[in-house]
Structure 1
């Protein structure tokens, strides 16, 4: 399905906006393969808005995550501040000529997405510039609220609900958190390479694990039973967050349920692969293969194609 047909269905006619939405779609396809595949299950008219929200989030995240691209921390901070300012200006004015932000601002206007959700998101992005660890789960939860829970709340108006939206907000936020916690487990090694640990240090210490032990496992490719036990605990908690999110799927508009249910299954599959790898996530990065993603999504993709 072409991007033009999606934009036509969404009644996006302005050439500048069309280019901005297309750029966000490219960012989503490049950085969020699972999200991008799941988005194909939405009605065409809703896809551009989801691409805008996820594409923008990935773009902002890359500003703080690409620590080996030659930019200094001050340069990354300055770039993020510029994005924050342009986003705030656009949301206040109801429009922007920025090649990415324009689509986000237009989506926020069309669907009545609260500005505070973007403010909280950018606050968590700024934390990534300076915070390299979180002592407790409560500390981590403050970061995850802005980096993930608000994404679930941003997309909820786009997905639509068959119940009052307030009833679906808790599960929508929980699903964003579940996805983020899954990413943390999958990316422990890569985050260490960036100098960060997103697993609460006090919880790790309860299993005899610290940053030095994680670094040793990353450097040597060897495993340690203490790390395995610590990760078992993290996986179990993440599964409980998925259970909190599950009741939200039937609360969504019927046309949106296949998209979210597929993303739910695909991300949950990552936890299965972490367990299958015997929790060795430091010497490798577990991923759901492209073929497996397609097989899991194929029934819903077929239904979406027939109804398009």
Structure 2
């Protein structure tokens, strides 16, 4: 039997649809604008002729970006930093969070408070730099991936997931059958934690992909710069030469320099965001589940 809906319900549905439509427009318009501006004539963008769809299409901005060898080196470095950092993050996060979720862990309350304090206080930039320096990690990959590899928020969220998703009866039954804690964690807990692993990997991977501050502080060799630091330098200089070295040829006029700088600016935005936009659809269903991870208190 079809439920009868009153006038107020229909008005509420219409308002919701209108709000969702407005939100979608607010989110989509900047994305479409940047994509269109990256392949449009800068004069059309600056004069307002291009407000949504491309006008006088040109690929000069992307050609100049990808002719710069530093872009490709930055891509390689960032991919390495992201993969290594995410793997280390998961290797440290999952066992520690699972251990904190078990009732039989002695001193669990004190360990949780110790972890929680790190959310409220930090050592600061100078002490952190001194620690990185004393450990001999300056100008190495480890200065990028080790500081902040596991945060208190990630530990608390993963611990809550294990508490809610791994029944105590399942663990107790495995122990009765003679399974060790390591066997239970590897063969039972990990296979049941695919949503958590995907979401934590996505969160940390995005953070690693976008971060440039650690490289700015700890890396001195330009051949070890991540992509974001390379793009930051390009945007600061605001110009790329024809030969990809960052030097403007003498034959280029000031107007041409400004035109190319505008093209490069939008092309750089697309280059930095494109890999994440391609990966996200494959992890979307896990991401939706991950939004609710840890949202229900004990």
Return the TM-score normalized by structure 1. 0.32
Q: Which has the higher helix share?
A: 1
Q: Give the TM-score normalised by structure 2.
A: 0.33
